Chains A and B, each alone.
Chain A
């Protein structure tokens, strides 16, 4: 696959050098540097080959700005990095939003944070930030916003038409589970268009990463996605380990899998409850919290926290698990297996629930690729893609599990996929418990101050919401030069305006819920 793409891409671009890179170190197979015209050609080529645009990252190298495009594939492991160098005084690049829909938001984000202009982009207005910002936050040297830039960024103003009116769903609204704001243009009860406004919980994680050492940044990822904190913790830790070449003991790897999967179940449970609450049934919410508390009890004993875990450390774990943890996990598996029947009776078999979700928010495979959605949303759309299988970290490569997929791609499928995923998570935990080896849980000789070798890395893990990509640029210091978090909810939310169009307000709530969003993760 890699060879084939290399040859074909080379032919498509003509005369551009395409380098093969060490996947184990870099997280991508091919890389090439392109000019604006060649970038467009490459994007069209990847679009035809059925690739998706995983992330766009901007890195400020002081002398120049670099745009990094990561293209990946759902069916085979073949990642390509295409870079584009820009002039820092007047950065401009062509837009890819016409080819890949997901570029639309990534480019808006880069426009705000770096001031890169994208030619041909339909709507380069504020996405995360607001009028009070004076300088581009992520530039290494202070670059002030010119007045005309501020004006252009603030151009988004909803205007009411003849027969339509606007409804602000949020930022304080029960169904957005946080502080997401969606401006809905309504025609009666029908939605004409939806425009999400983000950034109400933008907490500058990426800026913080550049200001802190790898170790100091450890608590942050779990505060991005507080429901799947373990997975984010895992992503950060494994990415840095991969960059520094630290080997982790087997026992630690196994425990990492157990803890992450427990956390995944807890996250899916909360989604289930919150989704039902969106649809008007409050009781399941309390039932799932009952189960969640059991998980919390088990995890709290070893990790020390209930929600924002910071359990994994570079080279291993903070704390070894004990007999009580293993017994508690086994008891939980037993209990949870029995609860599925209850949920099926209470929720899955309920006529009202099925009528509310069947055929709602249908995501076709092609659309899923264009928007680069991931996780249960992608699997609900029928694409069997799971980072735990595709790019296994920790002990996932030794686990045997299947990937549940949906058939229609509607909200009901998303529900079924998530419920079945809880089942597979239980299977994985059982396997990991069975093969849990003895031994240390911390690698020896992990330096206090990590100074990874120069270079970059694109590392992915599967969180409860989908593909988390971490792009790290290291300059041999103890702080990351740039750390970009490609978060799953952000990509999943992008598809919402398209799904909501033409639907009823009640359906919009059902669709928004089915995407399983965690707002702090989107806003970062």
Chain B
């Protein structure tokens, strides 16, 4: 063991172990979230949700996963094969990388980079590319429309997302996520930056393609959007990525606005997960309450409302900090 460490260096080993941990966490998280989603939806809709498969239906997501694994690997005839095959894999990479820099606890972080948030934002933008690949490669009109919608939506909402995070970065004076959490020792940033939090949250829901912004996979319009032609394991990868994305945006929100892993009595990781899953719950809640917005309304909201608001917020913050 020590030999390996001495050869590869402590940091590398830590990263590899972390990555494996992250991978396990990602799968576990997705399983929990699908179960939670169905259970929450069930209770909101005056029914029980999964119940018969395992205690409280807890085995349900595992059954789903095994079933999806066991499905026929099906490639439609008319698809653009390289793109079609690559897209589900590619959508998974940025999701995985984002986890590397998230501080789960004061010491539980795969790598603390001084440009941590930039890594996350850069990689999350990549997922648009794979959605576009999926839509284009599927050679299906619904998928293509879904993919194009997704691109427009992600570009539109990346900007307010970034602009909402900037004031926090200015206040913490660092790009490092850990430093940002440390800066919230006394006061959570959500208190002094409520507008930024608000904008960030809306943009984050849009980034994850969830209702009311689920246009890329709008079931009643586009059947299943960009993953219409995907089945079995490939579909499961899209699914996995979606749920992991939900967790990531919540985790970033917690890190930036809700004090990260800080909290009394309980260990940091518990606080972090607790806060994150609360936000995840809110996102699920939104999905089962609201109808879907229309495409032009979606873009209008971003360009005409959120971006100007975020700019004003940024200016005011900057001005106050200077004073």
Contact = CB atoms under 8 A, between A and B. Distances in A.
Interface of A: 165-167, 173-175, 189, 276-283, 286-287, 290, 346, 350, 352-353, 355-356, 504-507, 509
Interface SS of chain A: helix
Contact of A506 (B45, B142, B295): B295
A280 B297 CA distance: 15
Interface string B282-298: 00000011111111110
Contacts of A166: 141
B218 A280 contact: yes
Given A280-B212, A506-B221, A355 B294 contact: yes
A350 B291 contact: yes
B142 to A, nearest CB: 7
Task: Give the interface size class of chain B.
Answer: 20 to 34
A339 B142 CA distance: 37
Given A286-B47, A352-B212, A505-B145, A175 B292 contact: no
B207 interface: no
Contact of A505 (B46, B221, B289): B221
B305 to A, nearest CB: 13
Contacts of B64: none
Contact of A278 (B215, B220, B223, B295): B220
Contact of B45 (A174, A287, A350, A356): A287
Contacts, number: 79
A360 B206 CA distance: 24
B11 interface: no
A509 B293 CA distance: 13
Given A283-B289, A287-B45, A355-B294, A509 B145 contact: no
Interface of B: 41, 44-47, 141-142, 145, 149, 211-212, 214-215, 218-221, 223, 288-297
Contacts of A167: 141-142, 145
Contacts of B290: 280-281, 350, 352
27 contacts: A174-B220, A278-B220, A279-B291, A279-B292, A280-B219, A280-B290, A280-B291, A281-B211, A281-B291, A282-B41, A282-B45, A283-B45, A286-B45, A286-B46, A346-B289, A350-B290, A350-B291, A352-B212, A352-B290, A352-B292, A355-B293, A355-B294, A505-B221, A506-B215, A506-B218, A506-B221, A506-B295
A165 B46 contact: no
B294 A356 contact: yes
Nearest to A509: B221
Contact of A165 (B141, B149, B212, B294): B141
B311 to A, nearest CB: 24
Given A287-B45, A355-B293, 10 more contacts: A278-B220, A279-B220, A281-B211, A350-B290, A352-B291, A356-B293, A356-B294, A506-B215, A506-B292, A509-B221
Most buried by A among B44, B45, B297: B45
A361 to B, nearest CB: 13
A173 B222 CA distance: 9
Contacts of A189: 145, 149, 295
Contact of B214 (A278, A280, A290, A507): A280
Contacts of B220: 174-175, 277-280, 509
A173 B291 contact: no
